[in-house]
Amino acid sequence: MISKPKSDEYAPYAAGYVNAVPNGADVLKLLADNQVSTHQLFHGMTDEQAMHTYAEGKWTLKEVLGHMIDTERVFSFRAFVFSREDISLPGFDQETYILSTDFNSRTIQSLADEFKAVREATLYLYRSFSEGQLQQSGVASGALVKVGALVYITAGHEMHHLNIVKERYL
């Protein structure tokens, strides 16, 4: 089981994500369980439902899921690179990423299936890490982060957006 990271093992902005994972939780099991439930949630929507926003200027549900996919790819790439070497990687601007694609032109089922596939790859990667690799670190967006913390950040980021979806969209 991967231990919950200490606050000095990730950037302050990620504290909400790390803290979203319940104490004592098996974070890999949580990621696997959420792979199924998140896929089912979005795959069960119609495209009309997935085009909903809760306020003007906010993302559609398709864009929320697309953002979750993009961000998981970024976090797992960081974990992969940092598990192999200590390096510095640039940050990413989520708004630029959203504006650089057209998630809304895709079906919600296609996006849900992509999420499921990305999560499967993430799980293979995260399960492959040795204890030593989980302790490796690097710099992302100007802040030190450990590989093990990125596992928690990945899970917490998904939970954060699912809470927003349930509270404001559904």
CA 166, 78, 118, 59: dihedral to nearest 10 degrees?
A: 40
pLDDT in tens, the chain (170 residues): 899 999 999 999 999 999 999 999 999 999 999 999 999 999 999 999 999 999 999 999 999 999 999 999 999 999 999 999 978 898 889 999 998 999 999 999 999 999 999 999 999 999 999 999 999 999 999 999 999 999 999 999 999 999 999 999 99
Model pLDDT, residue 50: 98
* Contact present, 39 and 112 (Cβ < 8 Å): yes
Domain-wise residue ranges, the chain: 7-169
State which fold the 7-169 domain adopts: Four Helix Bundle (Hemerythrin (Met), subunit A) (1.20.120)
* Contact present, 44 and 56 (Cβ < 8 Å): no
